[in-house]
Amino acid sequence: MATVASAPSIDPNVSTFVARKQKMLINGKWVEAASGKTFATYNPATGEVLAQVAEGDREDIDRAVKAARAAFESGPWAKMPPAARGKLIWKLADLIEKHLEEFAQLESLDNGKPLAIARVADVPLTVEHMRYYAGWATKIEGNTIPLILAPANKFLAYTVREPIGVVGQIIPWNFPLLMAAWKLGPALAAGCCSVLKPAEQTPLSALRLGELIQEAGFPDGVVNIVPGYGETAGAALAAHPDVDKVAFTGSTEVGKLIIQASAGNLKKVSLELGGKSPNVVYDDADLDSAIPQAASAIFFNHGQCCCAGSRLYVEKKSFDRVVDGVSKTAEKIRVRPGFDPDCDMGPLVSEEQLNRVTNYLEAGFKEGAKAVAGGKREGNRGYFVQPTVLVNTNEKMKVVREEIFGPVVTAIPFTDPSEIVTKANDTVYGLAAGVWTRDIKKAHATANRLKAGTVWINCYNVFDPALPFGGYKQSGWGREMGHEVLEHYTEVKSVCAAL
Ligand code: ADP
């Protein structure tokens, strides 16, 4: 903690916040864990303890679910008109914007990402996400349905979309605040009540968000925030018999556990899971644009993105130029602590991630891969890994098949454009893909055949609250964002009246 308190640019609110033992938010009150236990969250740039946080478990989850249920069934939230809900969400967005610098610093300290990136990406995207769903609160509608087997004047049939109820929301550590917004925005717009469990590696920004949720004036119990470990608090939330729906973002492995845990009461499940996204560069692409963006497709957020463009396929004639360009970009990336003004890439989030990524690199080298940039840990303090470009790789290798979730791209040439989509689709995942070509027909024909929830053509990592995001195959169930996500937070009721 000493390191944080003495950093010259630290916001005073942030140093006070991390110095304080953090509690959990249940029914509008900040409380200790029922067990009295706490856990540490670490600064990944140094490996030092950043803050102590109340460790939620089954009993805390149960209390939080009870609070959410009471708020949903009978509190002021249940009677609130949609416009008033929308205003509260908008107010929350304004408050997050007002505290942008604080959130950016918390995110950088807890997750490791560059402060400059958190300032222009994580926090502003969170604000806009909330505003987008503030607007949706007043636009959730049903339909009138003309029955086909009866004359029109015999029945009036219509559908209503009702909030699904109490939702358990389990989020990862790669974009801690933004992922909280992806979950809370649509849930609140639909009129649901939430129990949110942040990742154990990065609980701080969600807890600060909880303070602003109270300041905005959301009724008690509408949003409850229970930090804790996945195997305990997360598992209890996924299995809880009084949770109507669970929304999860994280690994495919844990996604499968969530499905099993949800079976007890058949709660609805939406999942946004892993990826191993192909990024396909054809010979006729604008390489001056494709090269830097292929680098950023993998290195943005240190490769800790479920949609990272981690399999780079380049048509043979352009292969050397693209690999050379991406490698030169990788070598120029300054790997530093997130608070360093010259930081382009910070540390990975945890020691576990550091080990995971370096183990993958070792496995790749053993199988014959060669690093043309990076290839190892950077320094020996904190969890830094060099941005890495691997060649001599093929589809049988672990580094090509499995999600690394770090700054490691495998580059593979292809000669036959008619076969590239088959290769690109040769994965259990289907989250995202990139296509680079000047040929409009080829671009759309490739997009058409790719089995991925998002296809970026001549761009990558373009996110917008209005654009649905989610996966085919083992990359998940359902979509986040856009109006699509609202389907996961509402039930459809058909009403049929005889006239
Ligand atoms: P990663 O492996 O990248 O940390 P996880 O899928 O393990 O990703 O974590 C994403 C979120 O899922 C975190 O909030 C974590 O605490 C939670 N989690 C992990 N295991 C479980 C589980 N068995 N049940 C419910 N949630 C879990």
| Cα 258 to middle of ligand 1, angstroms | 9
pLDDT tens digits for range 290-349: 999 999 999 999 999 999 999 999 999 999 999 999 999 999 999 999 999 999 999 999
- Among residues 455, 411, 376, which one has the least CA distance to residue 291? 411
pLDDT of amino acid 8:
55
Is the separation of the CB atoms in 381 and 337 below 8 Å? no
Q: Transcribe 105-147 into DSSP letters.
A: HHHHHHH---HHHIIIIIHHHHHHHHHHHHHHTT-----B---
Going by alpha carbons, the residue nearest to atom 19 of ligand 1 is 230
Is the pLDDT confidence value at 2 over 70?
A: no
Active site residue 306: yes
Strands 490-498 and 155-163: antiparallel
Share of the chain above pLDDT 90, in %: 98
Residue 306 alpha carbon to ligand 1 centre in Å: 14
Specify the ligand 1 atom closest to the Cα of 253: 6
Q: Render pLDDT for 414-445 as a digit per residue (tens, 0 to 9).
A: 999 889 999 999 999 999 999 999 999 999 99
Pocket test for ligand 1, best of 254, 258, 269, 349 (most atoms within 8 A of CB): 254
pLDDT at 3 over 80: no
pLDDT at 81: 98
Which residue, judged by its Cα, is nearest atom 27 of ligand 1? 230
Q: Which of 272, 315, 403, 480 is catalytic?
A: 272
Q: Which ligand 1 atom is nearest residue 197's CA?
A: 14
**DSSP states of 286-308 as a string?**
-HHHHHHHHHHHHHGGGG--TT-
Q: Note if the pTM is more than 0.95.
A: yes
- Of 3, 24, 33, 31, the closest CA to residue 15 belongs to 3
pLDDT in tens, 475-499: 999 999 999 999 999 999 999 999 9
What distance in Å separates the CA atoms of residue 223 and residue 215, rounded to the nearest whole number? 12
Phi-psi region of 30 (alpha: psi -120 to 50; beta: other; left: phi over 0): beta
Per-residue model confidence as pLDDT tens digits over 385-401: 999 999 999 999 999 99
pLDDT, tens digit (0-9, with 9 covering 90-100), for 232-281: 999 999 999 999 999 999 999 999 999 999 999 999 999 999 999 999 99
The alpha-helical segments, DSSP class H, found in 20-81 are 58-74, 76-79
What confidence tens digit (pLDDT) does each residue in 29-88 have? 999 999 999 999 999 999 999 999 999 999 999 999 999 999 999 989 999 999 999 999
Element (H, E) at 6: helix 2-6
**Cβ count near 123 (within 10 Å):** 26
402 assigned to active site: no
Contacts of 421 (CB under 8 A, 6+ apart): 280, 446, 449, 450
| Per-residue model confidence as pLDDT tens digits over 185-202 | 999 999 999 999 999 999
Ligand 1 centre to CA of 236 (Å) is: 12
pLDDT cut 70: percent of the chain above it = 98
Per-residue pLDDT band at 1 (split at 50, 70, 90): very low
Pocket of ligand 1 (CB under 6 A): 170-172, 197, 199-200, 229-231, 234-235, 238, 250-251, 254, 257-258
Which residue has tokens 């990524």?
A: 357
Q: Which of 193, 305, 306, 307 is catalytic?
A: 306
Tokens of 173: 């550590």
Predicted pLDDT of residue 6:
44
pLDDT given at position 9: 83
Q: What is the mean pLDDT of the chain?
A: 97
Q: Convert the pLDDT of each residue in 337-365 to its tens digit.
A: 999 999 999 999 999 999 999 999 999 99
Rounded to the nearest angstrom, the distance between the alpha carbon of 476 and the centre of ligand 1 is 14
